Structure 1
Amino acid sequence: MRTFTLAAALAALVAAPALAQTGSAPAPGGIITHASTAGDLAALCDPAPDNPRRLESIAYCQGYMTSAGQFHAALNPPNSTRRPLFCLPSPPPTIAESGLGFAAWVRQNTQYANDTPIDGLFRWAQATYPCPEAPASRGRR
Protein backbone atom coordinates (compact mmCIF):
# COMPACT_ATOMS: atom_id res chain seq x y z
CA MET A 1 0.00 0.00 0.00
CA ARG A 2 2.83 2.39 0.88
CA THR A 3 4.49 1.77 -2.52
CA PHE A 4 1.20 2.51 -4.25
CA THR A 5 0.78 5.75 -2.28
CA LEU A 6 4.31 6.89 -3.16
CA ALA A 7 3.80 5.96 -6.80
CA ALA A 8 0.51 7.87 -6.91
CA ALA A 9 2.09 10.92 -5.30
CA LEU A 10 4.99 10.83 -7.75
CA ALA A 11 2.61 10.50 -10.68
CA ALA A 12 0.60 13.47 -9.43
CA LEU A 13 3.70 15.63 -9.04
CA VAL A 14 5.04 14.67 -12.45
CA ALA A 15 1.68 15.25 -14.12
CA ALA A 16 0.92 18.54 -12.35
CA PRO A 17 3.12 20.75 -14.55
CA ALA A 18 1.75 19.14 -17.71
CA LEU A 19 -1.83 19.56 -16.55
CA ALA A 20 -1.21 23.13 -15.42
CA GLN A 21 0.22 24.09 -18.80
CA THR A 22 -3.12 23.50 -20.49
CA GLY A 23 -4.64 26.37 -18.53
CA SER A 24 -1.58 28.44 -17.66
CA ALA A 25 -2.75 31.66 -19.26
CA PRO A 26 -3.98 34.18 -16.71
CA ALA A 27 -7.73 34.45 -16.38
CA PRO A 28 -9.38 37.65 -17.54
CA GLY A 29 -8.03 40.58 -15.57
CA GLY A 30 -4.53 39.05 -15.33
CA ILE A 31 -5.41 36.72 -12.44
CA ILE A 32 -3.33 33.54 -12.40
CA THR A 33 -5.42 30.45 -11.77
CA HIS A 34 -2.88 27.66 -12.46
CA ALA A 35 0.84 27.36 -11.80
CA SER A 36 2.98 26.41 -14.77
CA THR A 37 6.07 28.25 -13.51
CA ALA A 38 7.63 29.08 -10.15
CA GLY A 39 6.60 32.69 -10.77
CA ASP A 40 2.98 31.62 -11.22
CA LEU A 41 3.09 29.64 -7.97
CA ALA A 42 4.64 32.61 -6.17
CA ALA A 43 1.82 34.84 -7.45
CA LEU A 44 -0.71 32.32 -6.15
CA CYS A 45 1.06 32.18 -2.77
CA ASP A 46 0.92 35.96 -2.28
CA PRO A 47 -2.02 37.28 -4.30
CA ALA A 48 -2.96 40.95 -4.37
CA PRO A 49 -5.41 41.98 -1.64
CA ASP A 50 -7.99 42.97 -4.26
CA ASN A 51 -7.70 39.67 -6.17
CA PRO A 52 -11.25 38.26 -6.32
CA ARG A 53 -9.75 34.75 -6.21
CA ARG A 54 -7.42 35.50 -3.29
CA LEU A 55 -8.62 32.67 -1.05
CA GLU A 56 -8.65 30.20 -3.94
CA SER A 57 -5.09 31.25 -4.87
CA ILE A 58 -3.81 30.81 -1.32
CA ALA A 59 -5.52 27.41 -1.05
CA TYR A 60 -3.90 26.31 -4.33
CA CYS A 61 -0.48 27.43 -3.08
CA GLN A 62 -0.87 25.78 0.30
CA GLY A 63 -2.13 22.53 -1.20
CA TYR A 64 0.74 22.45 -3.67
CA MET A 65 3.33 23.15 -0.98
CA THR A 66 1.82 20.64 1.44
CA SER A 67 1.79 17.90 -1.21
CA ALA A 68 5.38 18.59 -2.24
CA GLY A 69 6.50 18.63 1.39
CA GLN A 70 4.72 15.39 2.23
CA PHE A 71 6.18 13.72 -0.84
CA HIS A 72 9.68 14.87 0.13
CA ALA A 73 9.13 13.57 3.68
CA ALA A 74 7.90 10.21 2.35
CA LEU A 75 11.05 9.84 0.25
CA ASN A 76 13.25 10.78 3.19
CA PRO A 77 12.01 9.00 6.33
CA PRO A 78 13.90 9.72 9.59
CA ASN A 79 16.35 6.79 9.35
CA SER A 80 16.90 6.99 5.60
CA THR A 81 20.39 6.80 4.15
CA ARG A 82 19.36 9.27 1.47
CA ARG A 83 20.23 12.92 2.13
CA PRO A 84 17.08 15.09 2.04
CA LEU A 85 16.92 18.15 -0.21
CA PHE A 86 16.09 20.40 2.74
CA CYS A 87 15.67 20.18 6.51
CA LEU A 88 12.92 22.09 8.28
CA PRO A 89 13.64 23.63 11.66
CA SER A 90 11.80 22.62 14.81
CA PRO A 91 9.20 23.93 15.10
CA PRO A 92 8.64 24.16 11.35
CA PRO A 93 7.23 27.28 9.72
CA THR A 94 3.50 27.45 9.14
CA ILE A 95 2.23 26.78 5.66
CA ALA A 96 1.21 30.46 5.40
CA GLU A 97 4.73 31.58 6.37
CA SER A 98 6.17 29.17 3.82
CA GLY A 99 3.96 30.45 1.02
CA LEU A 100 4.81 34.07 1.72
CA GLY A 101 8.49 33.22 2.11
CA PHE A 102 8.53 31.37 -1.21
CA ALA A 103 6.80 34.28 -2.97
CA ALA A 104 9.30 36.78 -1.54
CA TRP A 105 12.21 34.53 -2.55
CA VAL A 106 10.96 34.30 -6.16
CA ARG A 107 10.61 38.10 -6.30
CA GLN A 108 14.25 38.37 -5.15
CA ASN A 109 15.49 35.55 -7.42
CA THR A 110 13.73 36.28 -10.70
CA GLN A 111 16.21 34.11 -12.61
CA TYR A 112 14.23 31.12 -11.29
CA ALA A 113 10.73 32.47 -12.01
CA ASN A 114 10.41 30.43 -15.22
CA ASP A 115 11.46 27.16 -13.59
CA THR A 116 8.74 24.57 -13.10
CA PRO A 117 6.81 25.16 -9.87
CA ILE A 118 8.29 22.09 -8.17
CA ASP A 119 11.86 22.98 -9.16
CA GLY A 120 11.41 26.54 -7.90
CA LEU A 121 9.79 25.35 -4.69
CA PHE A 122 12.54 22.86 -3.90
CA ARG A 123 15.25 25.37 -4.88
CA TRP A 124 13.70 27.84 -2.37
CA ALA A 125 13.46 25.14 0.31
CA GLN A 126 17.10 24.18 -0.18
CA ALA A 127 18.22 27.82 0.05
CA THR A 128 15.99 28.60 3.03
CA TYR A 129 16.27 25.37 5.02
CA PRO A 130 19.64 23.80 4.22
CA CYS A 131 20.50 20.56 5.94
CA PRO A 132 23.42 20.54 8.36
CA GLU A 133 26.58 19.10 6.94
CA ALA A 134 26.98 15.42 7.70
CA PRO A 135 29.81 14.77 10.12
CA ALA A 136 32.92 13.49 8.39
CA SER A 137 33.19 9.76 8.89
CA ARG A 138 36.34 8.60 10.52
CA GLY A 139 38.30 6.03 8.61
CA ARG A 140 39.70 2.93 10.24
CA ARG A 141 43.29 3.07 11.35
Structure 2
Amino acid sequence: MKRAIAAALAAASLTAAASAGAAVTRDDFLVRNTASLVSLCSVQPQDPMAVQALHFCHGYVAGVADQYQAMGAPRPGEPPPYCLPEPRPSRSQAVEMFLAWAKANPAEAKAEAVDSLFRFARATWPCKR
Protein backbone atom coordinates (compact mmCIF):
# COMPACT_ATOMS: atom_id res chain seq x y z
CA MET A 1 0.00 0.00 0.00
CA LYS A 2 2.79 2.41 0.93
CA ARG A 3 4.52 1.69 -2.39
CA ALA A 4 1.34 2.42 -4.32
CA ILE A 5 0.90 5.74 -2.52
CA ALA A 6 4.58 6.63 -3.03
CA ALA A 7 4.32 5.76 -6.73
CA ALA A 8 1.19 7.89 -7.09
CA LEU A 9 2.88 10.85 -5.37
CA ALA A 10 5.99 10.44 -7.53
CA ALA A 11 3.86 10.31 -10.66
CA ALA A 12 1.99 13.42 -9.60
CA SER A 13 5.18 15.35 -8.90
CA LEU A 14 6.79 14.33 -12.20
CA THR A 15 3.68 15.11 -14.19
CA ALA A 16 3.24 18.44 -12.43
CA ALA A 17 6.83 19.45 -13.09
CA ALA A 18 6.67 18.41 -16.74
CA SER A 19 3.27 19.75 -17.68
CA ALA A 20 2.72 22.71 -15.41
CA GLY A 21 6.24 23.99 -15.75
CA ALA A 22 6.84 24.24 -12.02
CA ALA A 23 9.40 26.86 -11.06
CA VAL A 24 12.96 25.61 -10.95
CA THR A 25 14.57 25.62 -7.52
CA ARG A 26 18.24 25.77 -6.61
CA ASP A 27 17.80 22.28 -5.19
CA ASP A 28 16.88 20.99 -8.67
CA PHE A 29 20.45 21.73 -9.78
CA LEU A 30 21.65 19.02 -7.36
CA VAL A 31 19.78 16.51 -9.57
CA ARG A 32 18.92 14.25 -6.66
CA ASN A 33 16.41 12.37 -8.80
CA THR A 34 14.77 12.25 -12.21
CA ALA A 35 12.05 14.68 -11.16
CA SER A 36 14.74 17.34 -10.60
CA LEU A 37 16.21 16.76 -14.06
CA VAL A 38 12.73 16.88 -15.59
CA SER A 39 12.12 20.18 -13.80
CA LEU A 40 15.33 21.64 -15.23
CA CYS A 41 14.72 20.31 -18.74
CA SER A 42 11.09 21.45 -18.89
CA VAL A 43 11.74 24.94 -17.49
CA GLN A 44 9.42 27.66 -18.72
CA PRO A 45 10.97 30.67 -20.49
CA GLN A 46 9.60 33.10 -17.87
CA ASP A 47 11.34 31.26 -15.00
CA PRO A 48 14.07 33.46 -13.48
CA MET A 49 16.54 30.56 -13.81
CA ALA A 50 15.40 29.42 -17.27
CA VAL A 51 18.69 29.96 -19.10
CA GLN A 52 20.76 28.30 -16.38
CA ALA A 53 18.32 25.40 -16.05
CA LEU A 54 18.18 24.67 -19.76
CA HIS A 55 21.97 24.88 -20.15
CA PHE A 56 22.45 22.64 -17.14
CA CYS A 57 19.91 20.16 -18.50
CA HIS A 58 21.64 19.94 -21.88
CA GLY A 59 25.08 19.65 -20.28
CA TYR A 60 23.93 16.94 -17.90
CA VAL A 61 22.26 14.91 -20.64
CA ALA A 62 25.23 15.30 -23.00
CA GLY A 63 27.68 14.31 -20.26
CA VAL A 64 25.71 11.20 -19.35
CA ALA A 65 25.35 10.26 -23.02
CA ASP A 66 29.08 10.67 -23.67
CA GLN A 67 29.98 8.65 -20.60
CA TYR A 68 27.49 5.92 -21.46
CA GLN A 69 28.68 5.66 -25.07
CA ALA A 70 32.30 5.56 -23.88
CA MET A 71 31.48 2.55 -21.72
CA GLY A 72 30.87 0.59 -24.92
CA ALA A 73 29.91 -3.06 -24.91
CA PRO A 74 30.23 -4.70 -21.50
CA ARG A 75 31.84 -7.84 -23.01
CA PRO A 76 33.44 -8.62 -26.35
CA GLY A 77 30.81 -9.61 -28.90
CA GLU A 78 27.94 -7.90 -27.08
CA PRO A 79 26.23 -4.87 -28.61
CA PRO A 80 26.85 -1.41 -27.14
CA PRO A 81 24.41 -0.20 -24.48
CA TYR A 82 22.34 1.72 -27.07
CA CYS A 83 22.63 2.64 -30.72
CA LEU A 84 21.68 6.10 -31.91
CA PRO A 85 19.90 6.22 -35.27
CA GLU A 86 21.22 7.99 -38.34
CA PRO A 87 20.63 10.81 -38.62
CA ARG A 88 21.16 11.34 -34.92
CA PRO A 89 18.62 13.39 -33.01
CA SER A 90 19.74 16.84 -31.97
CA ARG A 91 20.39 17.39 -28.27
CA SER A 92 17.10 19.33 -28.04
CA GLN A 93 15.23 16.49 -29.74
CA ALA A 94 16.80 13.93 -27.40
CA VAL A 95 15.83 16.02 -24.36
CA GLU A 96 12.24 16.30 -25.62
CA MET A 97 12.17 12.54 -26.18
CA PHE A 98 13.48 12.00 -22.65
CA LEU A 99 10.80 14.28 -21.20
CA ALA A 100 8.09 12.35 -23.07
CA TRP A 101 9.57 9.05 -21.85
CA ALA A 102 9.76 10.32 -18.25
CA LYS A 103 6.12 11.43 -18.43
CA ALA A 104 5.14 7.97 -19.73
CA ASN A 105 7.18 6.33 -16.94
CA PRO A 106 6.18 8.23 -13.78
CA ALA A 107 7.75 5.62 -11.49
CA GLU A 108 11.12 7.04 -12.63
CA ALA A 109 10.51 10.32 -10.75
CA LYS A 110 12.35 9.23 -7.61
CA ALA A 111 15.06 7.23 -9.42
CA GLU A 112 18.54 8.61 -9.90
CA ALA A 113 18.52 10.76 -13.03
CA VAL A 114 21.56 9.08 -14.53
CA ASP A 115 19.87 5.66 -14.19
CA SER A 116 16.68 6.97 -15.79
CA LEU A 117 18.67 8.40 -18.69
CA PHE A 118 20.33 5.00 -19.19
CA ARG A 119 16.95 3.23 -19.18
CA PHE A 120 15.56 5.84 -21.57
CA ALA A 121 18.44 5.40 -24.02
CA ARG A 122 18.23 1.61 -23.97
CA ALA A 123 14.45 1.68 -24.44
CA THR A 124 14.51 4.34 -27.14
CA TRP A 125 17.53 3.24 -29.18
CA PRO A 126 18.04 -0.50 -28.68
CA CYS A 127 20.84 -2.11 -30.65
CA LYS A 128 20.10 -4.90 -33.06
CA ARG A 129 21.80 -8.12 -32.13
Q: Is the shorter-chain TM-score for this pair beyond 0.5, marking a shared fold?
A: yes
1:42 aligns with 2:38: yes
Query: For structure 1, which runs of at least 5 residues remain unmatched after alignment?
Result: 1-28, 135-141
CA contact (8 A) 1:86 1:130 kept: yes
Higher relative contact order (CA 8 A, sep 6+): 2
More helix by proportion, 1 or 2? 2
Aligned pair in 2 of structure 1 residues 30, 88: CA closer, same or farther (>3 Å)?
closer
- The equivalent residue for 2:51 is 55
* Equivalent residue runs for 1:1-141 within 5 Å: 31=25, 32-76=28-72, 81-132=77-128, 134=129
CA contact (8 A) 2:33 2:112 kept: yes
Distance across 2 between alignment mates of 1:85 and 1:125:
8
SS in 1 for 2:110: coil
- TM-score for both structures, normalised by structure 1: 0.66
**How many residue pairs are counted as aligned between the two chains?**
103
Q: Which amino acid in 2 is paired with 1:52?
A: P
Query: For structure 2, which runs of at least 5 residues remain unmatched after alignment?
Result: 1-22
Aligned pair in 2 of structure 1 residues 99, 30: CA closer, same or farther (>3 Å)?
closer
Q: Which amino acid in 2 is paired with 1:117?
A: A
- TM-score for both structures, normalised by structure 2: 0.71
Q: Which amino acid in 2 is paired with 1:84?
A: P
